Amino acid sequence: MNDIEKRLSEPYELKPGDIEYYQENGFIKLKHVLDQETLDYFNDEITKVVHEKNPLIKKPMEERSTFEKAFIQIGNLFNSNEIIKKLVLSKRLGKIAADLMQVEGVRLYHDQALYKEPTGKTSNITPWHADQYYWPLDTDNTITAWIPLQETTQNMGPLAFSKKSQKYDFGRNMEISDESEARIQQKLADANLELVDSGFDAGEISFHGGWTFHRAGPNTSDKVRAVMTIIYMEDGVKVSEFQREAHYADRDAFLPGLEPGDVAATDLNPLIYKR
């Protein structure tokens, strides 16, 4: 085992109050989770794969939909790349996810790279949304680790969160769109919820729950915002009824062959951490 792998398996010390903060606010930003060497190692590899697989490479920014402008999205990297697999299956990160959700164990739901390109004059926000709209999972115990692969300053479009918004159910039936940006923004403002929108230091990672509303501003810098995400679910959760096209698409991509009521534990959903 090399040093990077070793560090990815060592526990991260949550501070007193971190779990309560996450449970109350629906997200948390944690500093010094990864060191610079680890970030550089995975940035090189993930960036290489994103360039190889980029489905939007020939589509000019002006011709893209709001969703396509927001980021280049490449999923399930752990399954085809032995290097990236080490990050996705990291026990250090998996244990943080289990601790914050206060569950015994977590499985991978899926991973995805989200690269927000610098766009000059074209705005490329990530509109307000809650992730669980897309996921056919019969639980509230899902959590995403949002892992910037470099320092992410405010002008690069860091992930922003609406504090305590997991307690509200308006907008949970909206996909990522111009409409979700406008309508959820209005609802959050009406409910007077606080926005946390700030840069990330190198090595800082956020964790947000599946029903927490979040967005990201445009990348107005001259650098790509390289981000890896890992989505965890509590070990033992079941597949829910399929209510929309996105649920069938997610089942096919991340829970192949499963039907409502089945335990969400295919070969694509390894157990990452168990107490």
Ligand X SMILES: O=C(O)CCC(=O)C(=O)O
Which residues are at the interface with ligand X (CB under 6 A)?
A: 70-71, 114, 116, 126, 131, 144, 146, 159, 214, 216, 227, 229
Shortest gap between Cβ of 144 and ligand X (angstroms)? 5
Choose between 70 and 93: whose C-beta lies nearer to ligand X. Answer: 70
Reading the block at residue 137, the tokens are 């999972």
The interaxial angle of helices 91-101 and 18-25, nearest 10 deg, is 60
Choose between 9 and 119: whose C-beta lies nearer to ligand X. Answer: 119
Spatial distance between the Cα atoms of 42 and 48, rounded to a whole number of angstroms: 10
Residue 15 CB coordination number (10 Å): 10
Shortest gap between Cβ of 212 and ligand X (angstroms)? 9
Choose between 117 and 131: whose C-beta lies nearer to ligand X. Answer: 131
Shortest gap between Cβ of 225 and ligand X (angstroms)? 8
Choose between 4 and 109: whose C-beta lies nearer to ligand X. Answer: 109
Count Cα neighbours of 235 within 13 Å in the Cβ-side half-sphere. Answer: 17
Shortest gap between Cβ of 112 and ligand X (angstroms)? 8
Choose between 45 and 131: whose C-beta lies nearer to ligand X. Answer: 131
Shortest gap between Cβ of 111 and ligand X (angstroms)? 11
Choose between 30 and 70: whose C-beta lies nearer to ligand X. Answer: 70
Choose between 96 and 114: whose C-beta lies nearer to ligand X. Answer: 114
Phi, psi of 256, deg, nearest 5: -55, 130
Choose between 146 and 273: whose C-beta lies nearer to ligand X. Answer: 146
Shortest gap between Cβ of 268 and ligand X (angstroms)? 18
CA distances, 259 to each of 138, 239, 269 (Å): 12, 7, 15
Question: 224-250 burial, b if ≥16 CB within 10 A, otherwise e?
Answer: bbbbbbbbbbbbebebbeeeeeebeeb
Name residues whose C-beta falls within 8 Å of residue 137's C-beta, 6 or more positions apart in sequence: 109, 210, 233, 237, 238, 239, 240, 264
Pick from 259, 254, 257: nearest CA to 107: 254
Shortest gap between Cβ of 74 and ligand X (angstroms)? 12
Pick from 78, 109, 111, 94: nearest CA to 10: 94
